[in-house]
Structure formats: C-alpha cells, structure tokens
Amino acid sequence: MDPSTSTEKKKAIAIITIGMAGAGKSTFVQRINSYLHSQDPPSPPYILNLDPAVTHVPFEANIDIRDTVNYAEVMKQYNLGPNGGILTALNLFTTKFDQVLGLVEKRAETVDYVILDTPGQIEIFTWSASGAIITDAVASSIPTVVAYIIDTPRTTAPATFMSNMLYACSILYKTKLPFILVFNKTDVQPHDFALEWMQDFEQFQAALASHNGSTDSEGEPTYMNSLMNSMSLVLDEFYTNIKAVGVSSMTGDGIKEFFDAVEGEYLPDLERARALRAKTLQDAKADSMDRLMKDLDIDRAKNPQGALADRWDPNEDRDGDDDGDDGDINIVDQNEDRWPSQYIDVTRARRHEDEEINWPRPG
Ligand SMILES: Nc1nc2c(ncn2[C@@H]2O[C@H](COP(=O)(O)OP(=O)(O)OP(=O)(O)O)[C@@H](O)[C@H]2O)c(=O)[nH]1
Ligand SMILES: [Mg+2]
C-alpha cells in the first residue's frame, strides 16, 4: 500500500497544542474552537482532551481522557504523586489509542481540524513514551502541526525567553513536525519584542546586556550572559525556519493569522511530513515482517516435521478471543450514541464532581 495515497480522502489537519503550565493551551483551544464554529459555514473541529487532571475544560471535547481514566483513582491505586498520576493516566489511555485513532480517522474525513489539548505539565507529554506514541500515531495518520503556546507576559525577561525558545527548539527536533510559535496573552503584553529578538539577535543581546545581573561585580559579563549570547546565535537558525504569531485567547485577536499560518505556508509541509512518517512506519513494519519470515524459513528448514503442523487449518474454530476487543476500557466519542456494555470502565472513571468550594480570589 502506498502511504501517500492511502489517506487521500482525508482533509483534516491536526493541531497539537503544547506549552508550559498555565501558558493558555486550554483557553487557546477553546478560542480556536469558537473561531471555527463562527466560520461561514461553521466548521466544528474534533477535539481531544488529553489532560486527565483538569477539573474543567472550557470546551466540549469529543474524546476526553477523563472519560476513560480516573486520574485521582490512579494516584491512589498506584501510590503516585500528581505528576506520576498524570503520566500513568496518560500511559493507560495510550494503550487504547488505536481506538482513539480509529475515531479520529473516521472523523478526519468530515472535519477540517482535529485539535489536541495536552496536560498542563509540558514534559509529561513531550518527554514521555506515551506522548511520543500519541504524536506519532496522529502525525502519521493526518497532517499535523504543533502549536507551541507561549505565555508572552511571562517571557519578557531575556533569560526566560531564551529558555522557552530552547524548549521549543527541543520539541521541534523531537517531534520533527511543522511548528508554530503562538505568543499568547497579547492583550496583556504585545509580542513585538519577541519578534524583534527573533529577527535580530543583536537586539536580543542588547536587551540581555541592559538586564540586571548581566555583569558581575567587576563589570565583566557573567557566565550566564555569555552563554545566552552564544545561544542566541545558535537559535538564529531555528528562528529563520519557524513561524510566529501573536494571539490573545482572551479576546480572539490574531486567531485568523494563526489559521493563515497553518493553512498557507504549512500545508505542503504538513502533507510531506505525514507521508514521510507513514512511510517510516510502513518500512519498519515491512522490515520486521521480513525478518519474521526469514526466521520462519530457518525454523522450517531445521524442523520440517514441525513445519507441517503449523499450516492453517480452515476448519479450525476461529471464534477465539482474538478479536482485539479485550473488553476492559473502551474509548468514548461524546458525539456518538453509546450503547449499553460498550463502556465498561475498570477504573470507574467519573468526571470530578463539582466541589462546592469558594476559594478567595485576589482583588
Ligand atoms: N489575559 C489573558 N489571559 C489568558 C489568555 N489565555 C489564557 N489566559 C489565562 O491564563 C490562565 C491559564 O490558562 P489555561 O488555558 O488554563 O492554560 P493551560 O496552558 O491550559 O494550563 P494548564 O493546562 O493548567 O497547564 C487562565 O487564567 C486563563 O484565563 C489570554 O490570551 N489573555
Ligand atoms: Mg490546560
């Protein structure tokens, strides 16, 4: 099967939102969701929430990890802290990701966008096996772009900016997917400073030099300062290949520009990246099949009597238990009717009840 033609019917693009805790990923997903709904004609996306620990999501997710795994219960049963709990919940969910992918692939033929909201702690998704499996599975099925959400007001200090960009860079190289830097919260802090720093490393170095603590008591640049100076030269290459947009998920500013960036320049890249991934997967499968067949041949040559016995018997009872449905957790699509017994949940998944707590609010 040629991987580049196997998914020709599909037209959806997947957007994976990644970003530091509190950067505004969920609010961004909610904003692009409402933007897509307000299009003429409306183009509702297919949304996946992968954050098991969130108590409230500002959008209606089609597939919600919380419907499958109860994060609090996982923490209790496995004696884990919050991050271990999120990671384990994500791992459990990933064991069922073939079902999720099936639903996504089905919907990808009718929607324009599939959107994934990821857990608050960035490293749980970006540096875990399950995060990589989910990203790979989605990206080899439909064209996928990573939206790296940045908390603009929190990244105005040159050192913070630099570490955020290094993180973005590492994710780019890890996922090898088309990438958009989304400077969020521009209603609080416009993102022009970031664009200036990205376009001209001398401006970044000037900002660095004028920042407190950039020189030691003898007026020499500190180690940190020289390190960041050199880093800015390294990142220059990264910046030239990356698109950046400023948005406010609060007001909706810049959301159109975000979609222009996704659709405009990125579409051919996206399709190329998807085809490449699908081919890599296909090659890996063909390779292991090849090796299996070779092993079998050797076995048969060694043991011709045994080889006769391993032929398939057409009269054999094939109603065995290998239909792939192991009957424990099933993934639920909120838009589809459920039927009794489809959803048997060993972890007693239940959305967290509304806690009647009124926390004091600042101001
Ligand atoms: N002013 C302003 N606040 C925003 C914007 N986007 C998000 N926020 C606020 O930032 C806070 C965090 O937003 P979330 O969407 O929960 O961020 P998140 O990245 O999903 O957070 P976690 O999943 O917990 O890591 C909330 O208080 C939002 O109201 C924005 O564009 N402008
Ligand atoms: Mg969130």
Give CA separation, 224 vs 163, 198, 211, 213, 313, in Å. 12, 19, 12, 9, 70
Q: What is the pTM of this model?
A: 0.78
Using the predicted structure, report yes or no on whether residue 337 has a pLDDT greater than 80: no
Report whether pLDDT(344) > 50: no
How far apart CA 152 and CA 245 sit, in angstroms, is 11
What pLDDT sits at residue 9? 58
186 CA to middle of ligand 1, Å? Answer: 12
Residue nearest to atom 22 of ligand 1 (CA): 120
pLDDT tens for each residue of 251-280: 999 999 999 998 875 667 777 777 888 888
- What three-state secondary structure class fits 179? strand
* Residues 303-324, mean pLDDT to the nearest whole number: 62
Q: From ligand 1's centre to the CA of 256, what distance in Å?
A: 19
Mean pLDDT, residues 311-334: 60
Residue 19 bridge partners (DSSP)? 149
What is residue 29's three-state secondary structure? helix
Note if the bond before 82 is cis, omega within 30 degrees. no
Q: What is the DSSP letter of 66?
A: G
CA distance 236 to 176: 18
Choice from 20, 26, 27 to test ligand 1 binding pocket (greatest atom count within 8 A of CB) = 27
CB 27 within 8 A of CB 122: no
Angle, alpha carbons 293-324-276 (nearest 5°): 60
Q: Is the pLDDT of residue 338 over 70?
A: no
Question: Which residues, chain by chain, have CB under 5 Å from ion ligand 2?
Answer: 25-26
Ranking 204-213, 229-238, 280-289 by mean pLDDT, the lowest is 204-213
Q: What is the helix (H) or strand (E) element at residue 210, kind and residue range?
A: helix 201-210
Candidate from 249, 253, 359, 361 with most ligand 1 atoms within 8 A of CB, to mutate = 249
Contact between 161 and 239 under an 8 Å Cβ cutoff? The reply is no
- The model's confidence at residue 363, banded by pLDDT at 50, 70 and 90, is low
Q: What value does the mean pLDDT of the chain take?
A: 83
Edge-to-edge order in the sheet of strand 144-151: 63-64, 46-49, 113-117, 13-19, 144-151, 179-184, 243-246
Long-range pairs for 124-132: beta carbons < 8 A, 24 or more residues apart: 124/83, 124/86, 124/87, 124/90, 125/18, 125/50, 125/90, 126/18, 126/170, 126/171, 126/174, 128/87, 128/90, 128/91, 129/91, 129/94, 130/87, 130/90, 130/91, 130/93, 130/94, 131/90, 132/174
| pLDDT tops 90 at residue 27 | yes
Query: Which protein residues are within 6 Å of ligand 1, measured from CB?
Result: 19, 21-27, 51, 120, 184-185, 187-188, 248-250
3-state secondary structure (DSSP) of residue 330: coil
